[in-house]
Amino acid sequence: MTRRIPQARDRGIPDATVARLPLYLRALNGMAERGTATVSSEDLALAAGVNSAKLRKDLSHLGSYGTRGVGYDVQYLIYQISRELGLTQDWAVAIVGVGNLGRALANYGGFASRGFRIAGLLDADPHVVGDRIAGLVVEHTDELESVIKKRGVSIVVIATPATAAQQVCDRVIAAGVTSILNFAPVVLAVPDGVDVRKVDLSIELQILAFHEQRKANGGPIMAEEWPDGVVM
Amino acid sequence: MTRRIPQARDRGIPDATVARLPLYLRALNGMAERGTATVSSEDLALAAGVNSAKLRKDLSHLGSYGTRGVGYDVQYLIYQISRELGLTQDWAVAIVGVGNLGRALANYGGFASRGFRIAGLLDADPHVVGDRIAGLVVEHTDELESVIKKRGVSIVVIATPATAAQQVCDRVIAAGVTSILNFAPVVLAVPDGVDVRKVDLSIELQILAFHEQRKANGGPIMAEEWPDGVVM
DNA sequence: TCGACTTTGTGCATATCTTCACAAAGGCAC
DNA sequence: GTGCCTTTGTGAAGATATGCACAAAGTCGA
């Protein structure tokens, strides 16, 4: 892990902040569509579902873009956050694995509107290769490296079965990709310098189940912990 | 602020730990399938992609289930984590919104194997109602309340368009549901006591884009911050 | 120009999470 | 037994993140 040496102008935006910026961006876009010109931290925080002090602190990491007594200019803040997140440029994304999930992702409207252009759909199954989905023709995974290079793909989404994920991962990294969004239920091994983010549908349900169980069991004080001899 | 008075057996498991337990569980299941009987914190941490001290501290919140000098019994630990997460019981889940994503979720194998039983698929579109997906017949959202009550649904997955999400949310809460997994790109307003977890596909990509941009711009030290006068 | 009012930006206290490092616990060989 | 070896469980330090509360900065009406 690279040691963070604080620079004169420290550009180290906390991870927790980065994770919330897209949230603010969405809320702001909604406001822009409704014609709102300026917004206070209080209102924006409400719309984004966070505390207003946190919102202000988050935004302060980007710079001082508000006006005291007034609030934030919606359009300007959209621009600043977009720029910080790198959404003012176009990102070519390839989706590997065109099962149910891959299809859903290909058809998901939320990508294109944020500068993510789907530049390739690939699958190993010959029955799927050639299908037209969301305006693209599915290509065979044999073409993976050439698609990445020819179309300047810099982000790859892995939506393959778990068994194929690591191999796909290795190949895209060898082809120069350093940002991967992984939907396969495996922990990918990657070298330093490669970012992997993971979305796991069943993990989210498990976390919900944990809390649901707590609620069902009559609150935080649980009467009997060891109902009866569960022994190794 | 409620002062945390440590109970005799303190049942407050940190959120960060809860979020990782499913990860450990998956790694352990893989080991069990390969016939591994015991595992050290070092090896399990490696398989789960975390640091071994963190793993040990996480597990210590559940109890003292390891053997010094040996490690953890795989089967026993699977049982303990499953129990803690509430996966030893059956959870009835309803999916509202059977578009591309809803279909993908309905067909996702990772649910059933962890005690999540899909008890209902609902959609507002009459063209979709009646379709058979993953062994279930899609029902009309008019039936939402009755499906929840009759089939004992305690977790609802919202995979509708953004515009319909809040309304669906309100209805399922009114019907007694207190755990919601939301895929719609909106911040749901819910009363206290209701848990909402959110999965947002485009947010993950935006976070990747942020880091990718950093890498592309020549590492952590960025030369020119304000290329030229971007002014309000 | 001035004063009342609003809202930002942030210092500071607190809470939460991570990591180190090691004493204590147990297995195992002899 | 006894002593050596391995690995857990955890106290304490450090790192990050959150939230309060308020001074500073700006708007706006008179």
Domain boundaries, chain B: 15-85, 91-203
Per-residue confidence (pLDDT) for residue A221, from 0 to 100: 38
Give which of A58, A199, A102, A164 is closest to B22, Cα–Cα: A199
| pLDDT (tens digit per residue) in B22-32 | 999 999 999 99
Residues of A in contact with B101 (CB under 8 A): 104, 108
B215 close to A154: Cβ distance less than 8 angstroms: no
DSSP string, B49-69: TS-HHHHHHHHHTT---EETT
Look at A104 and B108 and tell me if their CB atoms are within 8 Å.
Answer: no
Per-residue confidence (pLDDT) for residue A218, from 0 to 100: 54
A94 touches strand C (CB under 7 A): no
Residues of A in contact with B157 (CB under 8 A): 205
Distance CA A206, CA B22 (A): 7
CATH code assigned to B91-203: 3.40.50.720
Name the helix (H) or strand (E) containing B45: helix B41-48
Look at B93 and A205 and tell me if their CB atoms are within 8 Å.
Answer: yes
Per-residue confidence (pLDDT) for residue B156, from 0 to 100: 98
For the cut 90, the answer to whether the pLDDT of residue B229 exceeds it is: no
Percent of all residues in chain B with a pLDDT value above 70, rounded to a whole number? 89
pLDDT band at residue A96 using 50, 70 and 90 as cut-offs: very high
Chain B window 35-64: which residues touch A at a Cβ cutoff of 8 Å? 47-49
Over residues B164-187, the mean pLDDT reads: 97
Comparing every residue's Cα with the C1' atom of nucleotide D19, the nearest one is: A53
SS3 B121: strand
For the cut 90, the answer to whether the pLDDT of residue A5 exceeds it is: no
For the cut 60, the answer to whether the pLDDT of residue B218 exceeds it is: no
Look at B19 and A207 and tell me if their CB atoms are within 8 Å.
Answer: yes
Residues of A in contact with B187 (CB under 8 A): 23, 27, 47-49
For the cut 90, the answer to whether the pLDDT of residue B66 exceeds it is: yes
SS3 B180: strand
Per-residue confidence (pLDDT) for residue B113, from 0 to 100: 83
Look over chain A and give the mean of its residue pLDDT values, rounded to a whole number: 89
Phi, psi of A200, rounded to the nearest 5 degrees: -130, 110
Fold of A91-201: Rossmann fold (3.40.50)
Q: If you measure CA to CA, which chain A residue comes closest to B195?
A: A208
For the cut 70, the answer to whether the pLDDT of residue A230 exceeds it is: no
> What amino acid occupies position A199?
V
Over residues A21-50, the mean pLDDT reads: 97
Q: Is B213 on the interface with A (CB under 8 A)?
A: yes
Same fold, A15-85 and A91-201: no
- Could you say which of 1.20.1060.10, 1.20.1430.10, 1.20.970.10, 1.10.10.10 is the CATH number of the domain covering A15-85? 1.10.10.10
For the cut 70, the answer to whether the pLDDT of residue B97 exceeds it is: yes
